[in-house]
Amino acid sequence: MHPLWCALQSLKSSTPMSPSCWFLAFAWVWWLPLVLVAAEEQQAEGCSAKCGNLTISHPFWLTDWDTGRLCGSPGPPEFELTCYNSTYPLLPSSVPNNAGFAIMDVSYKERGLRVVDLRKLQLLHDPPSIFNDCLPIWNTSAKLGRQFKISPVNLELILYNCTEKAAAAARREKELVQAKTMRCMNTSNTFVRAGVPYDRTGNYSGYALEDCDPIVLPVLRLPSGKTNASHYERLIQSGFLLKWE
Ligand SMILES: *[C@@H]1O[C@H](CO)[C@@H](O)[C@H](O)[C@H]1NC(C)=O
Ligand SMILES: *[C@@H]1O[C@H](CO)[C@@H](O)[C@H](O)[C@H]1NC(C)=O
Ligand SMILES: *[C@@H]1O[C@H](CO)[C@@H](O)[C@H](O)[C@H]1NC(C)=O
Ligand SMILES: *[C@@H]1O[C@H](CO)[C@@H](O)[C@H](O)[C@H]1NC(C)=O
Ligand SMILES: *[C@@H]1O[C@H](CO)[C@@H](O)[C@H](O)[C@H]1NC(C)=O
Ligand SMILES: *[C@@H]1O[C@H](CO)[C@@H](O)[C@H](O)[C@H]1NC(C)=O
Ligand SMILES: *[C@@H]1O[C@H](CO)[C@@H](O)[C@H](O)[C@H]1NC(C)=O
């Protein structure tokens, strides 16, 4: 029984409140200020559903990276975000022990997110001396929860990790650009292709290169409507559009 319900019932029926109702109403009024104080304290500690510049609301919910504190109502695990360093929200990867996505923008009206694939971003950092001792790099589409879809407005970028022999052939292909800096790969044997139209079924067999492992990731088009493989670093840093259902 809610105390407010008790009060409304007694008003409507003009019968006196039952003793249990009286007790509840009393307790409710008495507790109210304490509840309000607790809520204010939470706000003061930064536990509002805001992370960096972004407001987190339904269907997303948030736990704080540092304090582990929960903000918002718990919802489906796919929509659980963590607020990284009070800077930006992280969307988890569906692959265990794999870095997820940094959310840069959100549109609740369009059900859209602009996100950066953090694992691909790591590839752009200064390469360690050993490049063949890395965790596998997944295609971006393989890391998404079931409710998330890559928007067809993106174009795909393909990174090819080639054997030495295949690299010689790849160097002759005009539309491929050799990578400048790339963690986990020998840049002499790594090539980038841009401008590949998004395929809903994930069939990129038309772009396969013999003896080269492809990694497929979406990027946003440049204002010209195209992408240019030479600018792959900036393209990866700018992220891509995701939709949720
Ligand atoms: C956390 O954010 C602050 C600025 O808000 C920044 O100075 C600091 O480097 C960030 N720490 C990490 C680990 O990103
Ligand atoms: C927040 O927004 C301001 C202005 O739009 C921008 O300068 C700043 O970099 C943003 N901060 C983050 C963490 O995105
Ligand atoms: C690239 O290929 C080399 C040699 O085949 C392999 O050791 C390395 O792990 C591959 N890198 C990625 C990111 O798949
Ligand atoms: C990287 O590839 C080049 C050319 O295929 C090869 O000469 C070089 O030895 C490779 N680097 C390492 C560290 O294996
Ligand atoms: C990534 O996608 C390409 C093209 O669809 C596929 O050939 C490749 O096996 C995929 N890689 C992984 C690690 O799933
Ligand atoms: C993928 O596309 C190619 C044409 O680009 C086609 O020949 C092939 O049958 C397709 N594979 C699947 C599994 O749909
Ligand atoms: C891609 O960018 C490079 C370097 O900025 C430029 O030289 C090249 O002409 C561009 N390619 C296309 C097709 O626009």
pLDDT in tens, 60-96: 988 877 777 777 778 888 899 988 888 899 999 999 9
CB 153 within 8 A of CB 143: no
Q: What are phi and psi of 208, to 5 degrees?
A: -70, 145
Q: How far is the CA of 145 from the centre of ligand 1 (A)?
A: 28
Q: How far is the CA of 229 from the centre of ligand 7 (A)?
A: 8
Is the pLDDT at 229 greater than 90, yes or no?
yes
- pLDDT tens, residue by residue, 170-215: 999 999 999 998 888 889 999 999 999 999 999 999 999 999 999 9
- pLDDT tens, residue by residue, 128-152: 655 656 788 999 999 999 999 999 9
CB of 85 within 6 A of ligand 1: the answer is: yes
Domain ranges of the chain: 3-152+219-244
CB 127 within 8 A of CB 181: yes
Is the pLDDT at 33 greater than 70, yes or no?
no
Q: What residue's CA is closest to ligand 6, atom 4?
A: 206
| pTM across the whole model | 0.80
Is the pLDDT at 25 greater than 60, yes or no?
no
Ligand that comes closest to the CA of residue 52: 2
CB of 228 within 6 A of ligand 7: the answer is: yes
Is the pLDDT at 2 greater than 50, yes or no?
no
CB of 163 within 6 A of ligand 4: the answer is: no
CB of 168 within 6 A of ligand 4: the answer is: no
Per the model's pLDDT, the better-predicted residue between 181 and 110 turns out to be 110
Ligand that comes closest to the CA of residue 185: 3
Q: How far is the CA of 185 from the centre of ligand 4 (A)?
A: 10
Is the pLDDT at 153 greater than 90, yes or no?
yes
CB of 202 within 6 A of ligand 5: the answer is: yes
pLDDT at 18 (0 to 100): 47
pLDDT at 115 (0 to 100): 97
- Strand-pairing partners, residue 116, are 102
pLDDT band at 100 (very low <50, low <70, confident <90, very high): very high
Q: Which of 53, 65, 85 to mutate to test the pocket of ligand 1 (most atoms within 8 A of CB)?
A: 85
| pLDDT averaged over every residue in the chain | 80
Q: What residue's CA is closest to ligand 1, atom 10?
A: 85
pLDDT at 72 (0 to 100): 72
Ligand that comes closest to the CA of residue 140: 5
Is the pLDDT at 36 greater than 60, yes or no?
no
